[in-house]
Amino acid sequence: MADQIARRRSVLDGWALPSRAGLASLTNAGTAARFVYRGAPELVGDAFGVSLPTVPLRAHAQSGRAALWLGPDEWLLLSAEADGSTLAVALSSALNGKPAALVDISHRQVGLIVSGSSVEALLNAGCSLDLDMTTFPVGMCTRTLLAKAEIVLWRTAGDTFRIEVARSFAPYIVALLDEAMHGIA
């Protein structure tokens, strides 16, 4: 009997991610370990290595890890995929016996990086937030809607956003942004 080998595939494998030279481009953020944590922010800050932001709509990022504020007691924790299992153990033991919830959602969603000088106009094709630097500065993150899909939007640099979207919505988001790229200048 031939050996059975499970091969890991991303939902975006085989998709040509769109770009328009100089204006905007879409890239796959690659695999990541992701957790949704609900509870008191101080319980996991030390174990995670990055303090959890308590200011609404802010993200803290440091040495490859990031904690994104999603709600008053809810955070999205991002890390390298290789750290996932050790991080899960470290966070769980920090929470031992405490009233909190930690859910591994690493494979539930995919990350997309959108960047370029017209990135705000591109995202505004489906997102009604004001993405100007004065109202949506670097380090701001939020759960919101991009057309019909719920996303987490995080501004990591002046002309770069990270989108976290449910795996099943990823092809829709890529197709939507592909269309939208025809309309930006």
**Interacting residues toward another protein by CB under 8 A:** 56-57, 70-72, 74, 128-129, 142-145, 150
Q: And the tokens for 80? A: 């390298």
Q: How far is the CB of 168 from another protein (least distance, A)?
A: 16
Q: What string of DSSP letters covers 154-185?
A: EEEETTEEEEEEEGGGHHHHHHHHHHHGGG--
32/105 Cα distance (integer angstroms) = 10
CB 29 within 8 A of CB 154: no
Of residues 65 and 143, the one with the C-beta less far from another protein: 143
**Minimal distance in Å, beta carbon 148 to another protein?**
10
> Which of 17/121 has CB closer to another protein?
121
Decide whether 25 or 164 has the Cβ nearer to another protein.
Answer: 164
Nearest to another protein of 56, 158 (CB atom) = 56
Q: Which residue has the tokens 């909190």?
A: 100
> Which residues face 145 on adjacent strands?
150
Q: In the bound complex, what is the minimum distance in angstroms from residue 121's beta carbon to another protein? A: 17
Work out how close the CB of 150 gets to another protein at its nearest, in angstroms, rounded to a whole number: 5
